[in-house]
Structure 1
Amino acid sequence: MSDELTNRRLIVETPNAAGAVGPYSQAVLINNVMYISGTMGINPKTNELVKGGVQPETKQALDNIKAILESVGGSLSNIVKCTVLMTDLKQFKQMNDIYQTYFKSEHPARAAYQVVKLPKDSNVEIEAIAVMGKIEDYEAV
């Protein structure tokens, strides 16, 4: 590979979000694109899954993602894509009721999948891709 193709990488870790539950980083920033690992509703102070099911877990997962973004000067408005993993899609509405309070306009692209099981017996896990820096919206012609 040519030395001309140098990319900058930052491993993002913050104590304000739940730590990784395995050998991975909370997020990796490559140039201006951040890849946020799947995060669950784990309270960063107790390192325990919040109680109460899908809604409190969704809220805590999104709070964790927000903290990761804020640790490098970003915000939820930098997110361009989310992937939501759930153990029961019958609870999609409950998850979505919380999710939509975090993304009120300029909604990111999203996919949602049902999985058999998540770590720590979580009901929901959310990963995201964000583009850091100023994002300017425009109308397609």
Structure 2
Amino acid sequence: MSDQQTKTAIVPTTHSGAAGPYSPGSRKGDILQTAGQLGLPPGAPHLRSADQYPNLATQVLQALDNVTAVLAEAGSGWADVIMVRAHLTDTAHFREFNTLYSEYLATEQGPLPSRTTVYVGLPAGCLVEIDALAVLG
């Protein structure tokens, strides 16, 4: 199997591993998919840490930083991202999320990635989860 066909786990040094049976990122050829990144520091125990990060702004910025770390570990960045999925726990958070997301990506050149936003249940205290799909090369 050529290197282009080998699937590789992407684990940033900031991540102590996944909270379950998955990789923080997976790359195959020029395709990179990040796992959903919660708005908690990597490796933080969900149930205890979510109480330390009670507001949406803190969690959104941390989730975006976590996605950025996975992208960077693969030699990528937001300029390569073509699709983002945002998972929010409350429809009332949509406007604030949009503002934070826009500000975070404001320095990116070119068009913003496509995005889907859905409303879900997440572990206790977690308000957001974000994943990204990038095409490299």
Bigger relative contact order, structure 1 or 2, given CA contacts below 8 A and separation 6+?
2
Question: Would you say 1:128 and 2:125 are equivalent positions?
Answer: no
Partner residue, 2:40: 42
Letter in 2 for 1:114: Y
Structure 1 stretch 48-57 or stretch 28-37: which is displaced more? 48-57
Aligned CA distance change for structure 1 residues 120 and 78 (closer, same or farther; 3 Å): farther
Match of 1:114 among 110, 113, 119: 119
Q: Give the TM-score taking structure 1 as reference length.
A: 0.81
Distance 1:70 1:103 in 2: 15
Matched residues, number? 129
C-alpha RMSD of matched pairs (Å): 2.1
Structure in which a larger fraction of residues adopt helix? 2
Partner residue, 1:29: 27
> Pairwise mapping of residues 38-117 of structure 1 onto structure 2 (< 5 A)?
38-44=36-42, 46=44, 48-49=49-50, 51-104=53-106, 105-115=110-120, 117=121
Tell whether the 8 Å contact from 2:57 to 2:97 is kept in structure 1 after alignment.
yes
Tell whether the 8 Å contact from 1:17 to 1:65 is kept in structure 2 after alignment.
no
Distance 2:24 2:103 in 1: 23
Larger Rg: 1
Gapped regions of structure 1 (runs ≥ 5): 134-141
Query: Residue 43 of structure 1 aligns to a residue in which SS?
Result: coil
Identity among equivalent positions (%) equals 27
Partner residue, 1:15: 13
